[in-house]
């Protein structure tokens, strides 16, 4: 379980294909503090530390994860968002994020307006029913609030602090971003058809 409050960014050391998917090596400021088997969210995708060396951590990515997320787009030296799992007793400054990416959206625009940045992301139609004004969404693992929703193109406002400490500062028009929708919205959407059928 995560909060969507990015702890730091990391750098892709390498990503290479293996029989079951890909092996990903990431360097970060907390690599030495992790243990084998620990969960770390990379661009909002929950992965397991399988090996460590120097200041780098290895993660084995299944092919299904590569198919659903933007992790397969990663290249050496690219910056990614990192968050270690939530500890009992920690402050929950974002929202509950599972690290289970639902799919990818496409960046329509990311531009500075005043001191903030305006991010517009196109959401696949299959997820439109999970979007709510002022609702929470995780974009590349960052907990954000939906400011506007225009037929599935959502607008999010990024404050200077978030722009500076996350990988959002490097995204460009056309980039794919990982999406995780609010888990309460997903549970309600799953339950409603069953409740309706019993009426």
Q: Rounded to whole angstroms, what are the CA distances from 194 to 109, 115, 182, 187?
A: 38, 46, 20, 12
- Report which DSSP code applies to 4: S
195: left (phi over 0), alpha (psi -120 to 50) or beta: alpha
Q: Looking at the predicted structure, is the pLDDT value of residue 170 above 90? A: yes
CB 63 within 8 A of CB 20: yes
Domains along the sequence of the chain with CATH: 8-84 (2.40.30.20), 103-184 (2.40.30.20)
Lowest mean pLDDT among 73-77, 95-99, 140-144: 95-99
Is a pLDDT exceeding 70 seen at residue 196? Answer: no
Residues 6+ apart with CB under 8 A from 134: 145, 146, 147
The radius of gyration computed from the CA coordinates of the chain, to the nearest angstrom, equals 17
Q: Residues near 109 by Cβ (< 8 Å), separated by ≥ 6?
A: 118, 119, 120, 173
Mean pLDDT of 18-23: 95
Which of the two residues, 192 and 38, has the higher pLDDT score? Answer: 38
C-alpha span between 122 and 46 (Å, rounded): 23
User: Which residues, 6+ apart, have CB-to-CB distance to 108 below 8 Å?
Assistant: 120, 121, 122, 153, 173
- Quick one: what percent of the chain has pLDDT higher than 90? 84
Residue 190: predicted pLDDT: 85
Chain mean pLDDT for the chain:
94
**Following CA atoms 16, 14, 45, 141 in sequence, which dihedral angle do they give, to the nearest 10 degrees?**
-150
Instruction: Tell me the per-residue pLDDT of 137-167, one tens digit each, with 9 for 90 and over.
Output: 999 999 999 999 999 999 999 999 999 999 9
Length of the chain, in residues: 199
Q: Check if the beta carbon of residue 9 is closer than 8 Å to that of residue 36.
A: no
Q: How far apart are CA 149 and CA 109, in angstroms?
A: 14
């Amino acid at each position: 379980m995560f909060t969507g409050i990015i702890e730091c960014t990391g750098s892709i050391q390498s990503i290479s294909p293996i029989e079951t998917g890909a092996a990903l090596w990431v360097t970060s400021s907390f690599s030495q503090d992790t243990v084998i088997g620990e969960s770390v969210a990379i661009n909002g995708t929950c992965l397991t530390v399988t090996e460590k060396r120097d200041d780098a951590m290895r993660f084995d990515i299944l092919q299904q994860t590569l198919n659903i997320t933007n992790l397969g787009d990663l290249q050496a030296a690219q910056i990614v968002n990192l968050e270690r799992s939530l500890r009992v007793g920690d402050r929950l400054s974002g929202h509950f994020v599972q690290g289970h990416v639902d799919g990818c959206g496409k960046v329509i625009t990311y531009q500075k307006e005043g001191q903030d940045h305006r991010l517009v992301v196109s959401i696949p139609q299959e997820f439109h029913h999970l979007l709510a004004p002022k609702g929470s969404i995780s974009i590349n693992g960052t907990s954000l609030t939906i400011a506007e929703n225009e037929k599935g193109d959502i607008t999010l406002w990024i404050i200077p602090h978030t722009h500076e400490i996350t990988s959002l500062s490097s995204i460009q028009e056309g980039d794919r971003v990982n999406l995780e929708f609010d888990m309460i919205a997903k549970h309600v959407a799953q339950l409603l058809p069953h409740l309706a059928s019993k009426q």
